[in-house]
A and B are shown apart, each in its own frame.
Chain A
Amino acid sequence: QQQVKQSPQSLIVQKGGISIINCAYENTAFDYFPWYQQFPGKGPALLIAIRPDVSEKKEGRFTISFNKSAKQFSLHIMDSQPGDSATYFCAASTRPLHNDMRFGAGTRLTVKP
């Protein structure tokens, strides 16, 4: 049973466009929602994270939108660049131990020049 569902599986965007990746979760106890970026052959790296007490968090070209009532959150990449081409994972957990962290299946983003 997948507790965090991520869509789409793959995404192709033109340079300068907006990339949008969506995630939905089931466990209402989750209170930490990170997004990870992974390049081929590398480990995931934290991109941006949000707690449920805010509806939006922005860091540079990356924005997380959070809808607690719908149990959904999304990643928006503005002005997408070829260097953003990577696999993106959303995740959710209830505490900093991460022992209950659940990951989405991943979205492979390709930004065409």
Chain B
Amino acid sequence: NAGVTQTPKFQVLKTGQSMTLQCAQDMNHEYMSWYRQDPGMGLRLIHYSVGAGITDQGEVPNGYNVSRSTTEDFPLRLLSAAPSQTSVYFCASSMGQASYEQYFGPGTRLTVT
């Protein structure tokens, strides 16, 4: 199993550009989440999904969109990138009710200039 994979590993955007961060898992996990990690602030939840076709907002959803058309994939879209979105983004998945353990991907480091 590859676990949770994320692409790209690094990305530089100009203000106003849009892009999609990819996340995939091969563990047949129900729950998937997107977090951002900023220095001195830990991780903060952006959006999450409890299954294909079901998504909801987390703590800091503004400026981001998600969709979940399959169990495996959970892409994160930045609609119009802003410097405040410079961060490291992590995708995570878990079995859901059967287990509380979240598995994190390796992260995408995004810089918005």
Contact = CB atoms under 8 A, between A and B. Distances in A.
A32 B43 contact: no
Interface residues of A, number: 25
B42 interface: yes
A103 B106 contact: no
Contacts of A46: 101-103
Contacts of A41: 106-107
A97 interface: yes
Nearest to A104: B42
Contacts of B50: 97
Nearest to A93: B100
A99 B94 CA distance: 12
Interface string B79-104: 00000000000101010110111111
Contacts of A45: 104
Given A98-B33, A98-B94, A42 B43 contact: no
B41 interface: yes
Contact of A99 (B4, B40, B48, B90): B48
Nearest to A9: B40
B44 interface: yes
A49 B100 contact: yes
Contacts of B107: 41-43
A99 B102 contact: no
B45 A101 contact: yes
Contacts of B104: 43-45
B74 interface: no
Contacts of B43: 44, 89, 91, 103
B4 to A, nearest CB: 8
Interface in B31-75: 31, 33, 40-45, 48, 50, 56, 58-59
Interface of B: 4, 31, 33, 40-45, 48, 50, 56, 58-59, 90, 92, 94, 96-97, 99-107
